[in-house]
Amino acid sequence: MSNAKLWGGRFSESTSEAVEAFSESVSFDARLWKHDIAGSKAHARMLGRVGVLPAADVEAICAGLDAIAGDIEAGRFEWRTALEDVHMNIEQALTDRIGEAGKRLHTGRSRNDQIATDIRLYLRDAIDDLVADLNRLSEALRALAEREADTIMPGFTHLQVAQPVTFGHHMLAWREQILRDRDRLLDARRRTNVCPLGAAALAGTVYPIDRAYVAEQLGFDSVTANSLDTVSDRDFAIEFVSACSLLMVHLSRWSEELILWNTPMFGFVQLPDRFCTGSSIMPQKKNPDVPELVRGKSARTTGDLMSLLMLMKAQPLAYNRDNQEDKEPLFDAHDTTAACVALYAELIPALSVNRSACREAAIQGFSTATDLADYLVRKGMAFRDAHHVVGNVVAHAVQQGTDLASLPLDTLKGFSATIESDVFEVLSVEGSVAARDHVGGTAPARVRAAAKDASRES
C-alpha cells in the first residue's frame, strides 16, 4: 500500500516525520469515515449522472467504498498518519483496491468542501441522537413531576427559603430548560443541513456538476449559496457547541441542586447507589459522583466553545489549515454532552424523594410570609404597608423561635386588627401552594395538568 502523498507532485522532498506527526488529523477525524464514504458515493454517482465518469468507474468506486466500510467496521482497516486525514486514507485505500478508477473520485471536489460535508453529516446525526436522549430525559422529568405533584418543598432565592413550591413544579422548571435546549439544537440542525459539495477548494468547479442531486442523495435540505463562504464557514459547528454548552450549564445547575439535596442537611433526595461511589478512607461515605462530574464537565464544553470561537477569530477567507483544529473541541463537546444527557435520563426516573424532609424544610424560613402580606392586601391594606406589618411579624417570630403558623391569633391581631382566624389557611404551606392555581403556577392541580399536557405533546 502506498504512503505517497496524493498531492505530492509539486514537491521535491518528503514531508519530515515531525511535520507529519504535527499535522496529521486522522487520529481524531477517522470517526468521520461513515460520513466521508457516504459523501464520496454521492459525489461519484453525481459525476456519473452528468457524464464526467463512466458508469463502470462509478460502480467500481461505490463497490470499493462499500468494501472499505466493511473493513473499517470489522477493524481490519489500517489508518496511516502518513496519509494525514480520513479523506486521504480512504481515497488511497480505494485506489489500492480498484486502481485507476479510484484516482478519478476526487474530480470536481476538494478536501475543503469534502470535510465541510463530513462535519455537517456528522453533526446532523449527533443532533438527532442528542434530541432523542433529551426527549427521554424530558419524559423522565415529566413523569417525576406528575409523581411528586403534591410534594411540598421550599423554593429558594439567594439560596434562602423564599416561598413554598412543589417538587413537581421544580422538575417541570428543569424540563423547560432542556426543551429550550432541544429547540436550539433543532434550529441549529436546520442551518447545518445544507450541502457544501460543489464549492470545491474555494471557487467552485469547471465540471458540469449537479449539486442539487448530491444534496438529495445525502438528505440535505438545500445547497450552500457561496463557494468562498462554504469552505470557510464553521458557524454551524460553533452553534452546535454553543447549544451543547448551554445545555451543560443547565445540567450543572441541576447537579448543584441534587448535590445539595442529597446531603443530610437537606435530605430531600436519595441518589441510587449505582450513580454514587464511596470513599477510600471513610466507610460511611456515599458520594454523588455523577452530578459532581456533570457539574465539572460543563467546564469542558464551555472551553470547547471558546476554542472554536478563538479558532475562527480573524481568519481571512477562505479555508485555512487552522480549521483542522475545529474537530477535537467539536467531538469533545458532543461526546461530553451526550454522555451527561444519557446518564441523567437514567438517573431522574430512579430518584427517591423524601417528602417529609421536603415539607419540613418548607415550613422553616417563614416561607408563607408573602402569603400573609397578600392576605392583608385582600383585606384592604396597601401592599407596602402590608409588607412592613409582615416584616414586624417575622421579626417577632424570630425572637420567639417559632414559625408564622404557630403564632397565636391574638399575637397576630396585635400587628393588624384586620387579621382574623381565616389567616391560618394562608399560613400553611399546603394553602400557599394551592393558592397559586394559574398557568405556570406551583399548585398541585396545575402541576398535574402541565404534566398531562406534556404527555400529550410527546
Side chain identity at 56, as an amino acid letter? A
Contacts 24+ apart (CB under 8 A), 429-438: 429/152, 429/164, 429/359, 429/362, 429/363, 429/367, 429/368, 430/152, 431/368, 431/371, 432/163, 432/164, 432/367, 432/368, 432/371, 433/152, 433/164, 433/165, 433/166, 435/371
**H helix and E strand count, the chain:** 20, 6
The whole-angstrom separation of Cα 171 and Cα 144 is 7
Contact 188, 128 (CB under 8 A): no
The whole-angstrom separation of Cα 123 and Cα 266 is 41
C-alpha cell at 439: 398557568
The whole-angstrom separation of Cα 446 and Cα 443 is 5
Q: Which helix (H) or strand (E) holds 93?
A: helix 86-98
Known active-site residue 458: no
Phi/psi zone of residue 79: left (φ > 0), alpha (ψ -120 to 50 degrees), beta? beta
The whole-angstrom separation of Cα 138 and Cα 146 is 12
Side chain identity at 216, as an amino acid letter? E
Nearest C-alpha neighbor of 31 from the set 340, 332, 308, 242: 332
The whole-angstrom separation of Cα 62 and Cα 105 is 10
Which residues are CB-neighbours of 451 under 8 A, at least 6 positions away?
A: 142, 143, 145, 146, 149, 168, 172
- Spot the catalytic one: 23, 27, 222, 279: 279
Known active-site residue 106: no
Contact 338, 241 (CB under 8 A): no
Nearest C-alpha neighbor of 26 from the set 103, 89, 85: 85
371 burial (CB, 10 Å; 0-12 / 13-18 / 19+) is buried
Contact 56, 39 (CB under 8 A): no
- Spot the catalytic one: 158, 280, 356, 421: 158
The angle formed by the CA atoms of residues 249, 122 and 133, to the nearest 5 degrees, is 45
The whole-angstrom separation of Cα 284 and Cα 271 is 15
The angle, 0 to 180 degrees and rounded to 10, between the axes of the packed helices 111-147 and 86-98 is 120
List residues with catalytic annotation.
158, 279
